[in-house]
Structure 1
């Protein structure tokens, strides 16, 4: 291949940001909710994994070695999706600055291979616009990662319109990646909060963005969904049926399936059959590689899995890296 192979889904831990929230009531409440949503066995496995992966989540040399082993030329690196949307404006500003500086510094150590995404405090939309501008024009980041809800408020809430408008103007990527699941204790057993819950969260968030007309108002928004967009591309026909048959469902200008071709999805759907289906539903030009590096729910052989899907060469090459580079570089304000 002539084009670089690009992973759009890598994570960075920021210990300095963790230190800012340690001991605060908001973080204690966040931890309590996390404990309710996971079994003791899953909590223990998560703690062990974070300890085991500490170097790979922070050390540039370890990251580059992993990329080499996976056959990847470039990686989009974003913070672990713990945005702490409960934080007040002062703490939120300090958290975002700490995270965004850390991502920028990490990527600056290998600028030819690492592209950074930051965070914004969506719970304070005016502040979020300012932070987004600084992240892109000040720190040189390529966009931001967001979760699927903001302290119970949907991404599609009009309160966030100013953020999406500025992201459009800057040509900034918005990477939607859930942290946990709002179904809570119902999915606490056997790690269902991740295996089932996180795809559900993404499906719900994207459905709100589609059905409420957010993507009509911001048609140039570079929205990228982790984990293949959850379950939405698989069952989009039901959304189209509701849009046609129910006036109360018609909050968007076009059938919901048309909006799948206005956003992008990572290829982390695990099987060749699922990847072929994703491509069929959204288009090969709307899919990018994703590994979820370095976590155990990710994959270490993304290129082999892509090749196993048996796509046409041009589609395969676009997914391997061409689409990602277009997303990152075209229309970007520096």
Structure 2
């Protein structure tokens, strides 16, 4: 199929790869409830999911493939053995979903944090045996943030195997949130993503692992607006300046960002100013975001994002094909 910058009026995308696509298998929700976790999003209506619903939504939006993730993954309260068993069950389900729908689904593996030996074992199995496409992480595991140096063994293996990391925000570990009576994702998630970016920057993670690909959802949360502040560490502290890479802004701009929830003019302006088109990806956030909102975001991003024809193709599928060659429809 040849590239074309036109799309039917009802759908924003042409042949997109959606990198931010949640699935909620019944067994996963049942397991969480058995552990005393009643919902994946406290204070928010519980979404429902099945493969047919995803496929129908994808067809309506012009999405030919979705890289799925099971969020928030394995509860950190589990000991190493049950955590590893939980992760294995989820990852084998993901592999089955891919097998049942060839070319339509990819998957980010879940891993049994904080047990690093089990994490590395499950990563190898998920990638080498099950053939999953990357790793789905949350911003912090009980206060252990993704940019922490203790994560380096996983980063090294992900870089060696060319498997991207998708880092979805979660609730911060600190108690005493300022609005305890409203859902924390509403206001905390954008800052969680900034915390991840700051730690990756301060620990020079992307310089240590130059071939590692990291995807941040929701347009990078608050990162596009705060990247300049993070890059100006030398103005805040000489000691901080010594920890930052030579080109802090260049390092941050290597991160991949998906466009979920970026359809308002303020978020979109910051995103387009900060991130090159070669680092932008389609993300629906389905079904945690209503389909109408996802559809509207796609249309607004394309209508007001000032993408030229080549940039539209990069966003629609070419960038994602570079990260997920199995979903490119080409022999690699």
Which position in structure 2 is the counterpart of 1:315?
311
Scaled by the length of structure 1, what TM-score is found? 0.85
Tell me if 1:233 matches 2:233. Answer: no
Distance in 2 (alpha carbons) for counterparts of 1:205 and 1:86: 22
Which position in structure 1 is the counterpart of 2:274?
281
Whether the aligned pair in 2 keeps the contact of 1:10 and 1:77 (CA below 8 Å) is yes
TM-fit CA distance, 1:208:
0.7
**Matches for 1:174-193 after TM superposition, within 5 Å:** 174-182=165-173, 184=175, 185-191=177-183, 193=184
- Structure 2 CA distance for partners of 1:108 and 1:276, relative to 1, 3 Å: farther
Q: 1:306 aligns with which of 301, 305, 324?
A: 301
Whether the aligned pair in 2 keeps the contact of 1:8 and 1:76 (CA below 8 Å) is yes
What are the Cα deviations for residues 289-319 of structure 1, in whole angstroms up to 9, with x where unaligned?
1110112366134542332123111111101
Q: 2:27 aligns with which of 16, 27, 36?
A: 16
Whether the aligned pair in 2 keeps the contact of 1:303 and 1:320 (CA below 8 Å) is no
* Unmatched 5+ stretches in structure 2: 5-13, 327-331
Q: 2:258 aligns with which of 266, 270, 284?
A: 266
TM-fit CA distance, 1:100:
0.5
Whether the aligned pair in 2 keeps the contact of 1:10 and 1:75 (CA below 8 Å) is yes
TM-fit CA distance, 1:124:
1.1
Whether the aligned pair in 1 keeps the contact of 2:15 and 2:62 (CA below 8 Å) is no
What are the Cα deviations for residues 26-51 of structure 1, in whole angstroms up to 9, with x where unaligned?
x44x669x99xx6xxxx2xx2xx32x
Which position in structure 2 is the counterpart of 1:172?
163
Which position in structure 1 is the counterpart of 2:18?
7
Which position in structure 1 is the counterpart of 2:122?
131
Which position in structure 2 is the counterpart of 1:92?
83
Distance in 2 (alpha carbons) for counterparts of 1:116 and 1:142: 6
Distance in 2 (alpha carbons) for counterparts of 1:243 and 1:287: 28
Q: How many residues align?
A: 311
What are the Cα deviations for residues 191-238 of structure 1, in whole angstroms up to 9, with x where unaligned?
3x1222111111111211111222221111111001111111212111
SS of residue matched to 2:244: coil
- Structure 2 CA distance for partners of 1:109 and 1:257, relative to 1, 3 Å: same
In proportion to residue count, which structure has more helix? Answer: 1
TM-fit CA distance, 1:249:
1.4
TM-fit CA distance, 1:264:
0.4
Q: 1:324 aligns with which of 310, 320, 324?
A: 320
Q: What is the RMSD computed on CA atoms of the aligned residues?
A: 2.5
Which position in structure 1 is the counterpart of 2:10?
none
**Matches for 1:200-211 after TM superposition, within 5 Å:** 200-211=191-202
Distance in 1 (alpha carbons) for counterparts of 2:113 and 2:247: 28
Distance in 2 (alpha carbons) for counterparts of 1:244 and 1:125: 36
What are the Cα deviations for residues 249-283 of structure 1, in whole angstroms up to 9, with x where unaligned?
13122232111232200012122553343133121
Scaled by the length of structure 2, what TM-score is found? 0.85
Whether the aligned pair in 2 keeps the contact of 1:279 and 1:287 (CA below 8 Å) is no
TM-fit CA distance, 1:94:
0.6
Which position in structure 2 is the counterpart of 1:122?
113
Distance in 1 (alpha carbons) for counterparts of 2:245 and 2:235: 11
Whether the aligned pair in 2 keeps the contact of 1:181 and 1:194 (CA below 8 Å) is no
Structure 1 residue ranges, 4+ long, deviating more than 3 angstroms after superposition? 17-23, 181-185
* Unmatched 5+ stretches in structure 1: none
Which position in structure 1 is the counterpart of 2:249?
257
TM-fit CA distance, 1:181:
3.5
Tell me if 1:64 matches 2:60. Answer: no
TM-fit CA distance, 1:16:
2.6
Distance in 2 (alpha carbons) for counterparts of 1:311 and 1:150: 37
